[in-house]
Structure 1
Amino acid sequence: MNKSLSALIMLSLSAIMAAAQEGRATWIWYPGDFEVWLSNQMQNKRTERGAFFPPFWRQDGHYVLIDFHKEFDLVAGEEVELYAEGQYNVKLNGKLLEGYPKKIHVPAGRHKLNLKVHAQDRVPAIYVKGRTIVSDSTWLVTYEDKEWIDETGKASDQSGTMWLNAASWHFDQPSTPPSSFRLATEPHPAQTIERADGNGLLVDFGRETFGFARLHGVSGTGRISLYYGESKEEALATGTCETLDRITVDNVTDKDTVLELSKAFRFIWIEPEGGVQIDSVSMLYEYLPTVQRGSFRSSDTLLNRIWDVAKYTMELTTREFFIDGIKRDRWIWSGDAYQSYLMNYYLNFDLPSVKRTMLALRGKDPVTSHINTIMDYSFYWFISIFDYYQYTGDKQFVSLIYPKMQQLMDFCLDRRNNDGFMEGLPGDWVFIDWAEGLSKQGAVSFEQLLFCRSLEAMQLCAGIIGDGPGAERYGQLAAEMKEKVFTTYWDMDRNAFLHSLVDGELVDHVTRYANMFAIFFGYLDELQKQSVKNGVLLNENVPAITTPYMRFYELEALCTLGEHKYVLEEIRDYWGGMLRLGATSFWEEYDPGKQGVAHYSMYGRPFGKSLCHSWGASPIYLLGRYFLGVKPVKPGYAEYQVEPSLGDLEWMEGTVPTPNGDIRLYIDRKQIRIQAEGGSGKLILHSRTKPEAQGLTVTPLGGDRYELEIPVGSIHQVSYR
C-alpha cells in the first residue's frame, strides 16, 4: 500500500470501536491494543489437569508507549481532569507540564493537548474530562511519534507519523479503566449434592455451566481435590478428567472459599482429605452480559428445544471474545469464531464482540504465520470481514482493518506454489475438518475456494476505502483463481470438484467440502448445483461429515438449493441426537455410530471432547437465515429480503436483529405477518394464487413467486396459498 493511501485511510477514521457520545468522556487507547492484551489474559487461563497450557501460536503484545492528542477551540477556559493507565506526561501547546498533573486549567482559545503514556502490564490509556474537553474516539493516537529536538531547541513537525483515531468501548467512568475489565458473575446453587465414599461429594448443577466453584462451611486441616466434568463419568474419572483443582486448608473453621480460576463443568466430584469438612457447594456463574434480540419458535417442540440449547451454547461461548469451547481450549480460533459471528447476527447482533475477536485474531505485524497457524483459518478471517460489512455497513471498521488485511494477504500470496495454488508449507496446519482419513496433502480444492473468496473480500474492502488500484488487483487475482479452480478441479464426468492436486496430479476422489462451499459462494450454475446436490451432498457413497462444524456448511448449501424439509429432518436427527444423549449444550463432534462413554472421547483422551462448542450452535443461523429467510441485500440492511420457508412446519415465528431495528415475522400455511423497524425490505413468497395484502403492492416474479415491499412501522398481514 502506498504511503499517501495509508495516510488517507488513517486520517479518515473516526468514531472507531463504539465511539463515545458527543460530550461524554470515556477511556481511550490505541486501536487493537486492548483486544491483544485482553486475549492474552484470557487465552493463558487454560489448564490441563492443573498444568498451565498456553496457545501454541505467536502471542503479540500491545504497544507500550502511546501518544494521544487533540486540538480544541475554547470559548471560555475550563478545568480538565486527567487520568492515565501507566506512567504519563502532559503537554499543552507543546510545552511539557511539571510532574504528573491530575487537573489542569486550559484557557480560552485554540490549544493542543498531548498525553504520552507508558505501560507494560496493561494497555496505555487515558481518560480526560472537562466541560468540553473530553477523551473520545476523535482523539488521535500513535505508537511512534517521531518527535525529536534539534540543536536550536525546536521540536520536529512529526510529518512522518501515522495517526489513528483512538479506540474505546464502554469504560465511561474514571474508576473503571480498561485493565479493570472482568466478566460478570452471579451466584447459582447446585441442583443436587450427593455424599458418597465417606466424605466425598458429587455435585450436579443440572446443565453445562461455567464459573467458579464455591465451597461453604469449610473446616479442619488438609487438602480438597475438585474434579470437574462435563459429564458425570468425567467428574468421577479422577485420573483422566480434563480439569481439576487442589487446595490446602490449615486449621480453618466455617470458611467459605471461591476457587481462583473459572472452569467449565456440569458435575464436580469433591474429595476432602485429612479431616476436612464441607457443608455445601455452589458456584459463581461467569458470563458476558448481552441483550438477546433474535428469537425463534415453531410448531415443532423438538426444534424449539434445539434452538434454545443452541442459544445457551452461544451464551456460554460468548465471553471476552467468541471462543471455541469452554472446557478445554478457551482460545480464539478463527474457524470457530467465523461461525459464531454468523450466529450472533441472528441472536444478539453484538458487534463489539465481533470486532474484538477479529482484532485479537489478527494481532500485530509482521505476519509470520497463518492465523492460529491454520491456512483455512486465515481465509475465514478475510471472509468474516466480507460478511461483517454486509450485515453492518460499518465502513469505519473496514478502514481500520484494511491495512491488516493487506499484510496478511501479502503473506498468503507469497506462499502460493508454482501452480499458483495454496498448499501447506512447513509451519502451516491445513485443518479443513476433524474427519478420519481425510487427506490434506497437496493443493486441496477446498483451500483454493476459500482463497478465491478471500481475494473477493479484499476487492470489496479495497473499494470501500477508496483503494482503486487495490480493488482492481484483487479483483483480477480472484477472477484468475476462480478460473484456475474450475479448470483444474472440476471433473466433467462426475460434475463435481475433486479433492486435491498432489505433485501435479489430480487425486480421483470427491469430498463434500469444496462442492458445498461453491454452492453458497454462488460459484455454480443451476445445472452444476443440481449435479452437486445429487452426486455429492445426497450421495451416501461420499464420506459423511460428523462434526457440527462442517454440518453447518453442508446444511447451508442444502438450504441454498431449496431442500428445507430435508434440512429440518437432519437438524432433528443430528442435534436432536445429542439431546437424546442428555446434552445440555452442543458438542464439538457427534458421531451417531458411537456408543456410551465413547461419545466423550477425542484426541486420544477419554474425555478430550468439548461438550460445549461454539460451532454446535449453528441452528440459530440456519433457522434465521434460511427458514425465517431474512438476509441483507445491501450493506447494513439498507435493503433486505425476507423469503420464509416453512419446510414441513405448520407455523413459525421469530425476530431477526438488524442495525436499523428488529424484523418480526409470523408464518403459517395461509398467512404471514411482518413488522420491520427500519430499512427497505422486500418479502418474497411462493403462492398458488396472487397474495392479498391491504395497502401493499404485489409484484409477480414468474411461476409461483411474488414480491411485496415492506413498509416500515406497523404490522402487515399477507394472505397466500
Structure 2
Amino acid sequence: MSFPPAPHGDCTPAAPTCDYETIISRSPLPMIGLDGPAKTSAGPKPRTWLYPRAQFGRGALQALFSESRRTMCHVSYPETATPPALRALFRLRGHGTAVLVDATGVVSVEASSSSSEATASTTAETSFTPPPRVRHLKPGTTLCFHGEEAITLVVDAKDGQPPAICLAAPASRGQEESSTVLGERRNSLRDIHVETLLEGDKHWYPADIFFGGQAPPHATGEPVTEVELAHEDGGSLWVAPLPLLGHVVIDCPPGAEQPVLTAGESPAEALAGTEFAECHTDLKQVEPGRWVSRNRLGLRYVLVDGATASRVHVRASSRTFSRRGAFACSDERLTRMWTVAATTLGTCMQTLVVDGIKRDRLPWMADNAAAIGPNAYAFGDSRITANGIAALFLPQSGYVNGIADYTLWGVIALALDLEAFDDEALLAATAPELDEVVTSLLAMTNSNGLLYTTKDESSFPHTGPGAVFLDWGVEVAPQRTPTAFQALWYWALRSAVRVGAHLRSAEAPDAPSAGQLHSWEECATRVARTLNNAAWDHSTGAWREYVDGVSRPTPLANTLATLAGLTPLHAPGVETQILATSSGTPSMRAWALRALVQRGLRHQTVDELVRIWGPLVDAGVNTFWEEFPSEGEQPTQMYGRPFGKSLCHGWAAGPADLLVLAILGVQALAPGWEEFTVDPQLGELEWAACAIPTVHGDVCVVAERGRTTVDVPAGTALVRGAERFVGPARAIW
C-alpha cells in the first residue's frame, strides 16, 4: 500500500497545533456562512414555533415535494410518505403568561375562557377529542398559566400544513414583541412546558421546537443570502463562486425586453438552451428592469439572452451551522477531497438532506442513512438527520420511497443516528413506528427468517422483483433471493434490537417489550443461520450473490454482509470481493469502503478514495457528482438526458467520514461519542489532523510521525487500549 505522495520540501505545510480554530483554518469550506460569502445582517429575533413529533419533517417534505413538482422537468418520486396530521392537541402548563402569535391553522380552546385570555384548566387532559364547546383564538391572545393546571389548545391545520403554533413572551413596555426563545430568563417562555398529542398517540410527547420568522419554518427553507455572479470576460456566462440553490435575480435597463434565463451546473448546460433544461427557468418581473426566477434553481452558471443584464445575483438558500468539522493533512489533494465532500453534503442540507440541489431536491431514506457518517464528522447536525428520518420512516402505503430496502435503511438509520448523535428525542418519538415497521416486516418472512417483499402500484418504478432496488445498475433475477437484500434485513433486525434495548434502558414509554426484542433477535439468528448455510461459498471464503448454494460471490453481497456483521473475523475472500467493486453509485462505493475500514484495510481504503474520487478532485470540481464519469460518455449525461446528472449530490460525500476513519482512526465507541478511539495510520503522510463536532464538544486530533495529540471534550472519554482519558483532557503519546 502507498498513500499518494505528499508534497515535498518547502511545499509541505507544517502540522497545525491541536486546537479547533487552527485545524479549521487548514480545512476551508467555501460555503455560504462558513468560509464563503458572508451571511446577510441579522434580521428580527427568531420566533418560536412548536410542532408535534415528526410533523416538522413531514411538513418540510410536503413543501419540498410541491416545489420539486413545480420546478423539475423530470421527477420520479413515489408519494408513499405519510402526510402531516390534520389536527393536534397542544397542552401548555407552567407559570406566567405567553402570547399566541400565529398558527398553521385554526386554534380552539374551551368556550368558557374569556375573550382576550385563555386561562389554565384541568380539562382535555388525556382525550384526543376536543372539548364540546370551543371558541377560536386569534393571534395576539394571551395565555395565562397557574401551576400544574394546563391550557389545551386544539389546532386544525390548513392547506396541507402540519399543525404548529408560534408562541412569544409578553412584550415589554415599548416593544412590539419580546424575545421568543424558550429558555431565556427575561421576558421569555422558560417557565412554560408544551406537550402535544396526535390521534392514535398513547401519551403526550414534548413539542419539537424550531425557530423561524413570520412564516412557519418547515415551509420557508434555509436562510437566504444574496450572492453576486461574475460576468465572464469576453464571454456570455455569469458565474457563481460556488454551487448555489436559490432564486436568480436579473437586472436590466428599464424598458428592456424580457430576458430568457438558462441555468446549469456546468457551462455546457447553461449554454445548451431551454430545450435541454432540467428545471423550469421562467421569470417574473417584480419591478421595472428587474426579473426573478419563479423557482429556486440549482446552478453554478447562468446565461441571460434577449436582454443585456447589468447585474445577476442569486438569493441563495444555505443552512447555518453553529460548528463544523475539519480534516487536513500534509497531502493537499486529500485535504481538498475532504473539503469538496463536506461542501457537497452541506450544500444539499436544505431543511432536510436532499439528493441534489438541481434535481430532484427531495429526501430518500438510503441517502439519509448514507449522510449520517459524513454529517457527524463534518457538521454534527443531528436535527436535520432526525427530521429526515421522521419524515419518511413510516409510509402511508407500501415501502419508504416505494423501495423495500429503503424501509430497511430507515431502521438502520435509527441505529446509526444513535451512535452518531444519541438523539433520545428522535428515538422516543419514533419508538411506536419502529414496532409497527418491524412487525409488518416480520409478517413477510418465511420459516428461515428470510424477508420476501412484494411490489405494488406504489413502488418506485425502477425497483426489481419485490420492490428491491439495492443500487442503480443492480439487476435482481426473478424468483431468486439476493444475499445483499437479506444481509440488509439482518442488519435492520440487529439495528432494531440495538435501538429497542437502548429505549428500554432509558425507560422510554413506547419502548419495545422484552418479548418483542426476543422475537427480533430470534429472527436475526434464523437469518444468519440460513445465510451461513446457503449463501456462504466455502470454496472462495466469500458471500454468494444469491441464497442458493450455487451462485458465485459478488462485491455488493460481501459489502452489505460485512456491514451487517455477518462476515467471520478471518475472511480474505470477502475482502478480495469488496476490493473488486468496480461499479455502483458513490453512495454504495462509500459503503464498500466503510466495510474495508471495518475489516482493518485502512490503507487500501485511502488508495481506493484516491482512485475513485481523486479524478474529480484533480478536475477542480467544487462538489461531487451523482455518478462518477464513465469513459466514452458525456460527463454530465444520465437517465438518457445530456444534463440529467446532478453535479452536487449528497450521497457522494463519503470522503467526509472515510478520510478521518481511514487515516486517523477516530470513531465513536458509545452513543453520542461518550467514548471514542483514536488510532492513526499515516502511511507516507507527514501529519494529519481533524476536528469533529460531537454533541459534547469538539474532538480535536493532530497526528504526526511519532506523536499524537488529542483534545478530549467534557462528557467524553478517549479509550486507547487499556488507557482511558476522561475529558476535559489532553492526551499525548
Of residues 101, 115, 119, the one that matches 1:83 is: 101
* Distance (whole Å) between structure 2 residues aligned to residue 218 and residue 417 of structure 1: 71
> In 2, distance between residues paired with 1:54 and 1:551?
23
Partner Cα separation in structure 1 for residue 372 and residue 443 of structure 2: 28
User: Among residues 527, 537, 540, which one is paired with 2:578 in the alignment?
Assistant: 537
Tell me the CA shift for residue 439 of structure 1. Answer: 5.1
Distance in 2, matches of 1:516 and 1:330, equals 28
Match of residue 673 from structure 1: 709
Match of 1:604 in 2: 640
Query: Is structure 2 residue 63 aligned with structure 1 residue 41?
Result: yes
Any idea what SS the aligned residue of 1:43 has? Answer: helix
Larger RCO (alpha carbons 8 Å, 6+ apart): 2
- Structure 1 residue 143 and structure 2 residue 198: aligned? yes
Aligned to 2:369: 338
Q: Once the two structures are superposed, what CA deviation does each residue of 1:289-346 show, in whole Å capped at 9, x if it has no partner? A: 1134311110101001111111110111111101111112111011111111111111
Give how far 1:651 is off. 0.8
- Corresponding residue number in structure 2 for 1:614: 650
Q: What is the percentage of aligned positions where both structures have the same residue?
A: 23
- Mapped to 1, the partners of 2:597 and 2:652 lie a distance apart of 18
Amino acid at match of 2:60: L
C-alpha displacement at 1:488, in angstroms? 1.5
Q: Kindly indicate whether residue 259 of structure 2 is the aligned counterpart of residue 241 of structure 1.
A: no
Greater share of residues in strand: 1
Maintained 8 Å contact 1:559/1:626: yes
Q: Structure 2 regions of 5+ residues with no counterpart?
A: 1-45, 111-119, 124-130, 171-186, 505-512
Q: In the alignment, which residue of structure 1 is the partner of 2:728?
A: 713
Question: Is residue 43–residue 332 contact of structure 1 (8 Å, CA) maintained in 2?
Answer: no
Larger Rg: 1 or 2? Answer: 1
- CA RMSD in angstroms comes to 3.0
Matched, 1:262 2:324: no
With over 3 angstroms needed to count, the CA separation of the structure-2 counterparts of 1:481 and 1:138, relative to structure 1, is farther
> Which amino acid counterpart does residue 631 of structure 2 have in structure 1?
K
Which SS does the other structure have where 2:582 is aligned?
A: coil
Aligned with residue 536 of structure 2, among 459, 465, 490: 490
Report the more deviating stretch, 129-138 or 204-213: 129-138
Structure 1 residue 129, shift from structure 2 partner: 5.2
In the alignment, which of 140, 145, 156 is matched to residue 118 of structure 1? 156
- The residue type equivalent to 1:142 in the other structure is L
- Structure 1 partner of 2:569: 526
**Match runs of 1:571-650 below 5 Å:** 571-591=609-629, 593-595=630-632, 598-650=634-686
CA distance in 2, matches of 1:322, 1:482: 33
- Helix, strand or coil at the partner of 1:588: coil
Alignment check: 8 A CA contact 2:93 2:147 kept = no
Q: State the distance in 2 between where 1:567 and 1:453 align.
A: 22
Counterpart-to-counterpart distance in 2, 1:162 and 1:643: 46
Paired residues for 1:204-283 under 5 Å: 204-220=239-255, 222-238=257-273, 239-247=275-283, 253=288, 255-272=289-306, 276-283=307-314
Q: Encode CA deviations 1:27-74: one digit per residue, 9 max, x unaligned.
A: 3222111211111101222259864847323243222222222455x6
Alignment of 1:374-393 (within 5 A): 374-393=403-422
Structure 1 residue 98: deviation in Å?
5.7
1:19 maps to what in 2?
Answer: none
Give the SS at the match of 1:715.
strand
The partner residue of 2:493 within 442, 445, 455 is: 455
- Cα deviation 1:71-112 (Å, max 9, x = unaligned): 55x6xxx55433341212223424967653644574856533
Q: Give the drift of 1:482.
A: 1.3
Counterpart among 330, 343, 347 of residue 312 in structure 1: 343
Q: Which residue of 2 aligns with 1:349?
A: 380
- Alignment of 1:100 onto 2:137: yes
Tell me how far apart the structure 2 counterparts of residues 107 and 420 of structure 1 sit (CA, whole Å): 54
Aligned equivalents of 1:266 and 1:117: distance in 2?
A: 42
Specify the SS of the correspondent of 2:232.
strand
**Inter-partner Cα distance in structure 2 for 1:236 and 1:519:** 46
Structure 2 distance, partners of 1:547, 1:25, is 41
The change in CA–CA distance for 1:284 and 1:110 in structure 2 (over 3 A counts) is closer
Q: 1:464 to 1:79 in 2, by over 3 A?
A: closer
Deviation at 1:477, TM superposition (A): 1.1
Cα 1:103/1:590, change in 2 over 3 Å: closer
Deviations 1:103-128 (A, max 9, x none): 45748565331211212223322345
1: CA distance, partners of 2:624 / 2:427: 32
SS of alignment partner, residue 83 of structure 1: strand
Query: Is 2:605–2:662's contact at 8 Å kept on the other side of the alignment?
Result: no
> Do structure 1's residue 433 and structure 2's residue 474 form an aligned pair?
no
Counterpart AA for 1:594 = E
Distance 1:287 1:257 in 2: 22
The 3-state SS of whatever aligns with 1:117 is: strand
Q: Distance in 2 between matches of 1:80 and 1:280?
A: 46
Q: 1:556 — aligned with what?
A: 594
- Aligned pair in 2 of structure 1 residues 441, 43: CA closer, same or farther (>3 Å)? farther
Unaligned runs of 5+ in 1: 1-23, 146-160, 685-705
Quote the Cα distance in structure 2 between the aligned partners of 1:476 and 1:531. Answer: 28
1:245 counterpart SS class:
coil
**Distance in 2 between residues matched to 1:440 and 1:641, nearest whole Å:** 44
User: Could you tell me which of 171, 185, 192 is aligned with 2:211?
Assistant: 171
CA distance 1:307–1:68, change in 2 (3 Å): same
Residue 449 of structure 1 deviates from its aligned partner by: 0.7
Counterparts of 2:73 and 2:594, CA distance in 1:
39
- The alignment partner of 1:243 has SS state of coil
Q: How far is the alpha carbon of 1:360 from its aligned partner?
A: 0.8
Q: Which residue in the other structure is 2:229 paired with?
A: 190
Distance 1:80 1:313, change over 3 A: closer
CA shift in 2, pair 1:213/1:177, >3 Å: closer
SS at match of 1:220: coil
Q: Which secondary structure state, in structure 2, belongs to the residue aligned with residue 41 of structure 1?
A: helix
Look up the match of 1:697. none
1:410: how far off? 2.4
* Pairwise CA distance, 1:218: 4.5
User: Any idea what the Cα deviations from partners look like across 1:536-593, whole Å, max 9, x if unmatched?
Assistant: 1344xxx6224211210221122223322222222122211112334221011114x5
**Distance verdict in 2 for CA 1:607–1:133, change over 3 Å:** closer
8 A Cα contact 1:375 1:424, kept in partner: yes
Question: How does the TM-score come out when normalised to structure 1?
Answer: 0.81
Equivalent AA in structure 2 for residue 331 of structure 1: L
SS at 2:524 equivalent: helix
1:195-220 per-residue CA deviation (whole Å, 9 max, x = no partner) reads: 76xxxx42222443222211012443
SS at match of 1:116: strand
Contact in 2 for aligned 1:680/1:711 (Cα 8 Å): yes
The two structures have a TM-score, normalised by structure 2, of 0.80
**1:261-297 C-alpha deviation (Å, 9 max, x unpaired):** 111112222221xxx4422322222111113431111
1:475 partner amino acid = E
> CA 1:25–1:187 in structure 2 vs 1: closer, same or farther (change >3 Å)?
closer
Alpha-carbon shift at residue 353 of structure 1 (Å):
0.6
Query: Does the Cα contact within 8 Å between 1:195 and 1:202 map onto a contact in 2?
Result: no
